[in-house]
Amino acid sequence: MAEGGVTNTKLLFFFVIVLYAPVTCTSVLDTISANQTISEPEQTTHQHLRRPNSLSSRSSNQTWTLDEYITENGKSSSGGGKVRIIVPIASVILVIILVYIFLFYRYKRKNRTQEGTNRDERGHDHVNNSENEDLELPLFSFSTLVKATNKFSLNNKLGEGGFGPVYKGVLEDGQEIAVKRLAETSTQGLHEFKNEVISISKLQHRNLVKLLGCCIDGAEILLIYEYLPNKGLDSFIFDKSRSKLIDWPTRFKIINGIARGLLYLHQDSRLRIIHRDLKVSNILLDSEMNPKISDFGMARSFGGNQIEANTNRVVGTYGYMAPEYAGNGIFSIKSDVYSFGVLVLEIVSEEKNRDFLHEEHSNNLIGHAWELHKEGKSLQLVDKSLILVDSMAVWQSCINKNRISRR
């Protein structure tokens, strides 16, 4: 009610200005016009007058007869009538423009303030349900992080995602950390920050990235993680030279590790968590090439027996989204499993689903894989550098044995 009263007061003030401005301008112009009337009209026509500079372009030393003065003054008076019509209209337009700019500015400012905190989604977000919980998460000072990252030097930059750039840092005790800093241009904000903090601060699993702490200092919002020297899986898979460093046994270990982490999120954690943005670049690798799932800014949690939800705000990365989620906003455990399937295809083929376009049938990577499966040629999807003659039978066995439906 209070907000509605403020809005009504603003509108009333606006209409008072719009209606009062023309009357005020007209009254002022009438007064000015009256004051400019000649006070001695009985002067003879033979008397000479000096012409004011504002009424003519003649020089100030030139004299005028009274007839000429009256004639010119009459022209000015008729012009003044036009001015009395134009000025009020112009002032009304100006007031409307200024009020519109003011309201537009207030609207944009309000949106920026609420950005990332309000979501047009059905159901309850676990952030709202848990924001009052004691997270017991260490808080870092901004000055400590500035020093650790050498003032966020470009030489320390590890990469950049939707939240912002990530920097390597070293604390005073020698511990290496990864610092994720919210970018000014990021479409994410406080909501995603709180979401990530609450999602993984109490999750402990060897295949989930470990959150060490956070920092909020004015406009600066930062997350501090354990440092993983081998960075993201994408830096290996999609790099033709580095991809040779990870053979099939290593990739198989990575796939299994991701599956274990996903199983923990879906079944074994305190709350059932749907990641919603599982992709190759969100899989980090430690020094022993063990995978860790990262970036929980888009995650949602389910409680009780809830197995799916619907949202009007679809987030994530196209190419990894399940059709029912991308099209209708329905997400569940199946959504993450679909993303995991795309991720596996990219690991074994070394191709990006979004960039892949088959020359013959113009399918993406998923469509191409399905065509090969129907033809019984699934092995052709595997990158040739991974296939050895002795392992052909093993590959075929993995493809055909224990097929699990996503249903």
* pLDDT value of position 108: 62
Q: CB-based burial of residue 225 (10 Å sphere; 0-12 exposed, 13-18 middle, 19+ buried)? A: buried
**Residue 125 is among the residues annotated as catalytic for this protein:** no
The residue annotated as part of the active site, out of 125, 277, 295, 336, is 277
**325 vs 319: CA distance, rounded Å:** 12
Q: How far apart are CA 232 and CA 234, in angstroms?
A: 5
Is residue 199 within 8 A of residue 211, CB to CB? The reply is no
DSSP 152: T
Q: What is the pLDDT of residue 69?
A: 43
Q: Which residue has the tokens 């989204």?
A: 321
Residues 6+ apart with CB under 8 A from 111: none
Contact 286, 294 (CB under 8 A): no
Q: Are 211 and 200 in contact (CB under 8 A)?
A: yes
What is the predicted pLDDT for the residue at 83?
53
Distance, in Å, from the CA atom of 111 to the CA atom of 252, rounded to the nearest integer, reads 46
What pLDDT was estimated at residue 206? 94
Helix (H, G, I), strand (E, B) or coil at 18: helix
For residues 92 and 22, is the Cβ–Cβ distance under 8 A?
yes
- C-alpha 50/C-alpha 42 separation (Å) is 17
**Amino acid of residue 110:** K
DSSP β-bridge partners for residue 181:
222
Please tell me the predicted confidence (pLDDT) of residue 166: 94
Q: Helix crossing, 365-374 with 333-349: angle to 10°?
A: 80
Question: CA 29, CA 202: separation in Å to the nearest integer?
Answer: 73
Tokens in use for 355? 């960039």
CA dist 209 → 19, 198, 226, 340 (Å)? 63, 14, 7, 17
Q: Token pair of 361, please?
A: 């049938």
Q: Model pTM?
A: 0.63
Distance in angstroms between the alpha carbons of the first and the last residue of the chain:
49
Report, in angstroms and rounded to the nearest whole number, the Rg of the chain calculated over CA atoms.
36
What are the pLDDT tens digits along the chain (407 aa)?
444 444 444 544 544 454 454 555 455 445 545 454 444 444 444 444 444 444 444 444 454 444 454 455 444 445 555 555 666 777 778 888 888 788 877 776 655 444 433 433 333 333 334 444 445 688 999 999 999 999 999 999 998 877 889 999 999 999 999 999 988 777 676 777 887 787 777 788 999 999 999 999 988 999 999 999 998 999 999 998 899 899 999 999 999 999 999 999 999 888 889 999 999 999 999 999 999 999 888 888 887 677 778 887 788 888 899 999 888 888 899 999 999 999 999 999 999 998 888 777 778 899 999 999 999 988 889 988 787 644 555 656 666 655 554 45
Residue with token string 């689903």? 353
Write down all domains in the chain, each with its CATH number in brackets: 46-96 (no CATH), 133-226 (3.30.200.20), 234-400 (1.10.510.10)
Q: What's the pLDDT score for residue 109?
A: 60
Residues contacting residue 53 through CB under 8 Å, at least 6 positions apart: 60
pLDDT, residue 326, reads: 87
